[in-house]
Amino acid sequence: MGWVTDVYSQRPIRSLGYNLGLTLTGRTGRTGAPPALPLERREEPSEVDVSEPWSLGMAYSYSGGYAGLESWSSTQTANGVAHFGLTPNWRLDYSASLDITGRQLVTQRFGLTRDLHCWQATFTRVFVVGGEAEYYFRIGVKEQKEIYLERGTRIGSLGGIQ
């Protein structure tokens, strides 16, 4: 939570912002980090833990303030992420970002991961409102991160070679 004040102004609180988050995880006795919320576009991790049975994450952000002499304006966003281990080797991922102020679903991301013993394959499909749908596919050796093949709307390489 953060805010900016000006005690000499008619409106002493100039801006206010806060974030709330909740993560729920079904554990298999292993410890690990909670799922990353899609608060911004991030690179996909090269290896996904398919052994986690499920996890859900939610986040809410509020930001508001005065812009000069205008009235108070604010922005509210909500983000959610869900991971489900369908089988010991298959994992389904979903994430979404919602602009509460504009009452619009901004992005959705669907992902499917398959653990292939020493390999791992991932397919992701992203839908952005007002933009083109994107896809990303990657298959790589788990123990040799530099050996992989990836294809997608914006990328295509073989082991890091464009």
- Tell me the domain boundaries of the chain: 17-31+48-158
Cα(156)–Cα(149) distance, rounded to whole angstroms?
Answer: 8
83 CB-contact burial (10 Å; exposed 0-12 / middle 13-18 / buried 19+):
buried
Q: Is 22 left (phi over 0), alpha (psi -120 to 50) or beta?
A: beta
Cα(9)–Cα(65) distance, rounded to whole angstroms?
Answer: 14
Cα(42)–Cα(144) distance, rounded to whole angstroms?
Answer: 22
Going residue by residue through the chain (162 aa), what tens digit of pLDDT does each one get?
787 877 777 777 889 999 999 999 987 655 555 555 555 544 445 555 656 789 999 999 999 998 777 888 999 999 999 999 999 899 999 999 999 999 999 999 999 999 998 999 999 999 988 888 899 999 999 898 889 999 988 765 555 554
8 A C-beta contact, residue 51 and residue 64: no
